[in-house]
Amino acid sequence: MKQYDVKCPICGTMNKGIYLGETHGWMECEHCGIDTMNIEYAKKHAKRVPLLRLKQHDPYPAPAAV
C-alpha cells in the first residue's frame, strides 16, 4: 500500500509514511495528535461518501473540515 508524507495543517509537522489508503485520507498527527483529513488525497480518491451528519452536536468542530 502506498505511503504518503503528510504535513499537518495544524502544527506543520511532517508525518512520514502515512497509509492514507487505510484511513481514507485521515491521519493523526504524531506531534499534536489531532486527526485531520488530507485534502489532496481526498480529492484524488473522491468517492461519494456521505458526510457524517451525526457529528453535528459534537462540541468540538472537526479540524480542517472543509
Q: Evaluate the CA torsion angle 11, 16, 7, 56 in order and state its sign.
A: negative
Single out the segment in contact with Zn ion by CB under 5 A; choices: 1-9, 19-27, 39-47, 51-59: 1-9
Q: Which of 3, 22, 32, 65 forms a contact with Zn ion (CB under 5 A)?
A: 32
Closest contact distance (angstroms) between CB of 64 and Zn ion is: 11
Q: Which of 4, 7, 10, 63 forms a contact with Zn ion (CB under 5 A)?
A: 10
| H or E element in which residue 35 lies | strand 35-37
The yes or no reply on residue 14 touching Zn ion (CB under 5 A) is no
Q: Which of 6, 18, 29, 37 forms a contact with Zn ion (CB under 5 A)?
A: 29
Q: What cell was used for 34?
A: 489531532
* CA proximity to 34, closest of 65, 58, 3, 11: 11
